[in-house]
Amino acid sequence: MVGIHEKGSESTVARVSLVNYHGHVLLDTFVQPREKVTDYRTWVSGVRASDLEGAPVFDVVQKQVNELVEGRTLVGHAIENDLKVSSVHSSGNFS
């Protein structure tokens, strides 16, 4: 997650990584934020401005994730936060 809005006060996705039960990478991609990034939080996220240049847009990555997790069990830390999608910007949910 990177920060958007004043002083990075809100978070938005900047990278999506999915692995299977065996730890094999299914998807690992940066995501082009819809809004201007005001805090890359590089010290935590590892994300730099150059990582997001040419990255796929949210809707494309959302579709990839939906296809990969459909009919499967999704496990993660605080995953309810990771799956939140703003209704203003969303064309759907990660479900």
Per-residue pLDDT at 46: 92
Cα–Cα distance for residue pair 68/62, rounded to 1 Å? 10
Cα–Cα distance for residue pair 92/21, rounded to 1 Å? 26
Cα–Cα distance for residue pair 58/33, rounded to 1 Å? 7
Q: What is the residue-level pLDDT of the chain in tens, covering all 95 positions?
A: 899 998 878 888 999 999 999 999 999 999 999 899 999 999 988 999 999 999 999 999 999 999 999 999 888 888 887 777 765 454 444 44
Q: What are the chain's domains?
A: 2-82 (3.30.420.10)
Backbone angles phi, psi at 18, to 5 degrees: -125, 135
Cα–Cα distance for residue pair 90/36, rounded to 1 Å? 17
Q: What angle do CA 44, 20, 11 make, to 5 degrees?
A: 30
Per-residue pLDDT at 78: 81
